[in-house]
Structure 1
Amino acid sequence: MSKSISMSTETVHSPMLHTGERLLVQVEQLLGSWAGAIASVILIMESVILGVGVFSRYVLHRPIFWTDEFALILFAWLSMLGAAVALRRGAHMRLGFIVEKLRPATQARVSTFAWTLLLGLMVALLYAAVNFTVHSWTELTPALQWHLSVRTASMVVGFALMAVTAATKLTRIATLRSFFVSFALLIAIGAALYYLQGSLQDIGNYNLIFFFVVLVLGCIGMGVEIAFAFALAAMAYLSLMTNAPTSIIMNRLDAAISDITLLSIPMFILVGVLLDVTGLAKAIINLMVALLGHTRGGLHYVLLGGMYLVSGISGSKSADMAAIAPIILPEMKRRGEKEGELVALLSVSGAMAETIPPSIILIAVGVASGVSISSLFVGGFVPAIVGLLALAAVVFVRTRGRTAPDCRKATGAEIRKAMFIALPAIPLPFLIRAAVVEGVATATEVATIGVLYSVICGIFVYRQFPLKRVCDSLIATVSLTGAILLVTGLAGSVAWSLTQSGFSDDLSTMMQGLPGGATVFLLVSIAFFAILGSVLEGFPAIVLFSPLMFPIATSYSIHGVHYAIVVVLSLSIGLFAPPFGVGFYSACAIGGVEPQKAMKDIFLYMAVFVCAVVLIAFVPWFSIGFLH
């Protein structure tokens, strides 16, 4: 999710470059279009290759060993090209509302400085990527025996494309004078840090506060994408405070974009968008409307139930809400429901659904913490039901005094017709979750089957497979994949730096010294991750702090699955709670409602949800009661 910075300054500032600007823009648009097209083709190839692998392994019982390796090479290219597309589309995770509050002239200067900083960072990352790729040439992949540089070259191309995008953006928003002022300011800041290098080293690990709190939050406040704020902090810390090479940043990024488990992320995102495009999600919602739409608060319950069924598959809460809201909200508004309450419920239901498998954030937690992903999927069901029931109770209390909606009850024939139409769609969410939970196939394989099933249903059952929307969905999928994987990989370098600095040992000592033992630790964790969720969003917070916090939870004898569920739900509190939670603003944008109208209502729903999270934290059975 992201809130883009207003670029109204483009119309009030003369271009920084007159000669050649049009050529640069045309080149950037051409490269960006080709990057999106190639990444979309790669996504289709991934689906085919993984599908062939699944067929050969489970039907022919003759696994093809090179398919996973080839798929991972393509995954690296998909991730980096997707990251470049995401930068063009403004789809990277960021917090832009601070800059949006500034006066236009100040906003222009801050934006120019931010993009100048970003361009310099892209050049530095490109240099590091080239060196990493050159040194990878001598290594060979196990099955295909290809040079490893075939995979790592994706980082070179990705950062080169992003550098071109940053340069093009600067020509649009900056004057020549403002660019040179920003460039000079960057040089001055770099010189000051180099001059203060010794002083920063003398204060020991307290310098971590400067690099990973002040510097990161400063960049985020200017609207710099969270992933690049992490990269800048890690590069500055490694260069000034350690003897470690900056190639560690590329090493951590390469580890993320070549992880077979994370390969499931683009597949599940694609399943999610296909549910919407092919009409499968609409069929499920229409059935629920036929069953409950005539009751008091019926559409509220449909909204909650729809989020429970559809959520977790697409990989994006915005995508989940966008799949449900256009179907339900117009009818709710027609019935006279308050706009603010609708958006508040939509937002908090998104928070409630974060642990519903196959949740992308649960996959990230499993990879970062080492907890079994299948166990996380099993553990996520009941906590989400607890949140669902808590929100449904609020709906019941708030609607019991209202008159019944002015609509007739669906007839038996209408219900049977809706059920018949939804019949092909209903099994998909359950089959995906059951297959992963029971260990029938890996998450990546199950997601691939889900893609194939959605395509078949869309073409042959629902006769709804609009090619333009499908192509747009492919671009959206590669963009979201790139944003997720880039922030995961670059946050990994920060996590490595924090671990190597000894900060993890200090944090462990401090947490283990808390009065009240596990009880206080859980409460502190809820507050800590809620704050992180409002500032960093889910993925970077998970990558950064899972390796640090999970060992502490283990020392308190807290089950890894239980703690993971508490962490994810706590992050969702921060992600969807105003005034900083970007999930809340996404819900407002999707519902077409001003945030001020939803503020009053969301605090009630959010307060109940927080109580549900605390209950889940102190009743471990909700999370681990059904583990084998």
Structure 2
Amino acid sequence: MIASLAVLPVLLLVLGTPVFLVFLAAVAVTFFFVLPLPPVALHQVLFGGLDNYALLAIPFFVFAGELMGTSGIASRLIAWVLAMVGRLPGSLAVSTVGASTVLGAISGSSVAAVAALGKTLYPKLESAGYGKERAAGLLASSGAIDIVIPPSIAMILYGLAAEQSIPRLFMAGILPGMLLALMMCAFVIVMAIVLRIPVVGRFDPAIAWAATRNALAALLMPVFVIGGIYNGWFSPTEAGGFACLYAIVVARFVYRTMSWGDIVRAAGNSAMLSAQILVIVATAGVVTWVLTTQGVPQAIVAWIEALDMSAVTFLLAVNVVLLVIGCFLDPTSAILVFAPLLVPIAISLGIDPIHFGIVMTVNLAIGMFTPPFGLNIFVAQSVTGLPAHSLYRGVLPYVAVQITALIIITYVPALSLALGQAL
């Protein structure tokens, strides 16, 4: 079983096989040659893993993000953030981080944020004096914040895999997400001062008010979604449906930037992306089922207990392992496979599973732009046209910044738990 579930997936990943096929091949070989189970069991577990009401939130939020991303919302948000930061040193770079954070609160899609912001801001960052590598690295790394800021698809999947409250996870992600954004802003401000980059724009109350009016409908979306969940107006899944309806109204009737045909095309694009996510959910669920039924999580827990590992040491080891895994696997795949294995160990060591979920999410968010296979790097490459080795150099300073934030988030649980406990 070790060969089919460990060696075979690594080999297939090295060969460039899509992740869902890696999982499916691994479990198929295990079912047919290792476990004494009929082939029909594979189909039952595969489709049974998708029979979960909470999973409906994923296509809803993907569709809402697609609508907001294709209706010109990004340019309005960028203009609003730039108007707010005024004559701050590095204002254009700060605007990039701020706009990515706000987009994360709308769509929760790191890739979508990098693509949307890259087309608009990369030429401006380059011409402002940041250089191609720094500008592209900033775009790729800022998008990672979107995975942590609620609503987050990664947190929905963690809640399902670890059987934890999705509303509590959403609330827990707010302060860590803000910490990531603030540390990124502090870094780019210092960088702008050191590089003597001229300030772009100025603070003007009239311009700020006009930008706020133009972006108000978009800015209110996360307020309604998150506020509705915590006020008990709707569940996270129903909140996704509300987000879709709200996005359609804003795009079609408020900003009037999308026709009904555009909305239908956005639905088709989001259906494709949702299918890509859910096929990974299905295949990863079979891997988790096999590991659980064979007693692998229990064996790992017993092994950790035998090592007499403290919570501090365990969290350090988890950070190292997940940072490496994040370089090769997307957050969806990594959470679905590793959360069921790691969460029981964390609980046995007295670590709050909500806090542990944020630690996992931040780790895998950093992996989105960490060489060699961070997905955001490839998206930034397609937007900027830079070679991969240039992007690798460009993201390294931002990797260091976010790992520093990760250490704080890991060892200061109050950042993740304070807001949830205040409810």
Q: For residues 189 and 76 of structure 2, what CA distance do their matches in structure 1 show?
A: 25
Which whole-Å deviations, capped at 9, do the CAs of 1:216-269 have from their partners, x for residues lacking one? 122222222111111111111111112122333322332333311010101101
Correspondence list, 1:564-603, <5 A: 564-603=357-396
Quote the offset at 1:338 in angstroms.
0.9
Structure 1 residue 563 corresponds to structure 2 residue 356: yes
Q: For residues 265 and 383 of structure 2, what CA distance do their matches in structure 1 show?
A: 18
Paired position in structure 2 for 1:511 = 304
Quote the offset at 1:402 in angstroms.
4.4
Paired position in structure 1 for 2:244 = 451
SS at match of 2:373: coil
Q: For residues 412 and 608 of structure 1, what CA distance do their matches in structure 2 show?
A: 32
Alignment size in residue pairs? 421
Structure 1 residue 502 corresponds to structure 2 residue 310: no
Paired position in structure 2 for 1:43 = none
Quote the offset at 1:379 in angstroms.
0.4
CA contact (8 A) 2:141 2:376 kept: no
Structure 1 residue 414 corresponds to structure 2 residue 218: no
Q: For residues 312 and 219 of structure 2, what CA distance do their matches in structure 1 show?
A: 40
Residue 473 of structure 1, aligned match among 250, 260, 266: 266
Residue 608 of structure 1, aligned match among 393, 401, 420: 401
Q: For residues 355 and 437 of structure 1, what CA distance do their matches in structure 2 show?
A: 18
* Gapped regions of structure 2 (runs ≥ 5): none
SS at match of 1:251: helix
Residue 265 of structure 1, aligned match among 58, 63, 66: 58
Q: For residues 614 and 408 of structure 1, what CA distance do their matches in structure 2 show?
A: 34
Paired position in structure 1 for 2:122 = 329
Quote the offset at 1:520 in angstroms.
0.8
Residue 359 of structure 1, aligned match among 142, 152, 157: 152
Q: For residues 257 and 241 of structure 1, what CA distance do their matches in structure 2 show?
A: 25
Q: For residues 197 and 364 of structure 2, what CA distance do their matches in structure 1 show?
A: 37
Structure 1 residue 546 corresponds to structure 2 residue 339: yes
CA contact (8 A) 1:354 1:568 kept: yes
CA contact (8 A) 2:82 2:201 kept: no
Q: Taking CA–CA contacts closer than 8 Å with sequence separation of 6 or more, which of the two structures ends up with the larger relative contact order?
A: 2
CA gap 1:410/1:466 in 2 versus in 1, 3 angstroms: farther
CA contact (8 A) 1:322 1:590 kept: yes
CA gap 1:413/1:288 in 2 versus in 1, 3 angstroms: same
- Amino acid corresponding to residue 451 of structure 1 in structure 2: C
Paired position in structure 2 for 1:290 = 83
Q: For residues 520 and 253 of structure 1, what CA distance do their matches in structure 2 show?
A: 35
Paired position in structure 2 for 1:249 = 42
CA contact (8 A) 2:31 2:42 kept: no
CA contact (8 A) 1:311 1:317 kept: yes
Structure 1 residue 405 corresponds to structure 2 residue 198: yes
Paired position in structure 2 for 1:486 = 279
Q: For residues 224 and 116 of structure 2, what CA distance do their matches in structure 1 show?
A: 20
CA RMSD, aligned part only?
Answer: 1.9
Structure 1 residue 344 corresponds to structure 2 residue 137: yes
SS at match of 2:54: coil
Residue 319 of structure 1, aligned match among 89, 103, 112: 112
CA contact (8 A) 2:23 2:287 kept: yes
Residue 316 of structure 2, aligned match among 523, 528, 552: 523
Residue 102 of structure 2, aligned match among 309, 319, 324: 309
- Amino acid corresponding to residue 607 of structure 1 in structure 2: A
SS at match of 1:423: helix
CA gap 1:408/1:289 in 2 versus in 1, 3 angstroms: closer
- Amino acid corresponding to residue 357 of structure 1 in structure 2: P
Paired position in structure 2 for 1:153 = none
TM-score (ref. length: structure 1): 0.64
Correspondence list, 1:156-171, <5 A: none
CA contact (8 A) 1:436 1:446 kept: yes
CA contact (8 A) 2:92 2:125 kept: yes
Q: For residues 11 and 250 of structure 2, what CA distance do their matches in structure 1 show?
A: 48
TM-score (ref. length: structure 2): 0.94
Which whole-Å deviations, capped at 9, do the CAs of 1:343-397 have from their partners, x for residues lacking one? 1112222223321111000000000100100100010011111111221221121
Q: For residues 196 and 324 of structure 2, what CA distance do their matches in structure 1 show?
A: 40
Q: Percent identity?
A: 28
Quote the offset at 1:450 in angstroms.
1.5
Quote the offset at 1:563 in angstroms.
0.4
Q: Which shifted more, 489-498 or 327-336?
A: 327-336
Q: For residues 404 and 541 of structure 1, what CA distance do their matches in structure 2 show?
A: 39
Q: For residues 308 and 86 of structure 2, what CA distance do their matches in structure 1 show?
A: 50
Which whole-Å deviations, capped at 9, do the CAs of 1:447-466 have from their partners, x for residues lacking one? 21121112112222212114
Structure 1 residue 436 corresponds to structure 2 residue 229: yes
SS at match of 1:262: helix
Q: Which one has the largest radius of gyration?
A: 1
Q: Which shifted more, 606-615 or 311-320?
A: 311-320
Q: Which shifted more, 322-331 or 452-461?
A: 322-331
Paired position in structure 2 for 1:621 = 414
Which whole-Å deviations, capped at 9, do the CAs of 1:103-144 have from their partners, x for residues lacking one? xxxxxxxxxxxxxxxxxxxxxxxxxxxxxxxxxxxxxxxxxx
CA contact (8 A) 1:436 1:443 kept: yes
CA contact (8 A) 2:248 2:263 kept: no
Q: For residues 288 and 312 of structure 1, what CA distance do their matches in structure 2 show?
A: 14
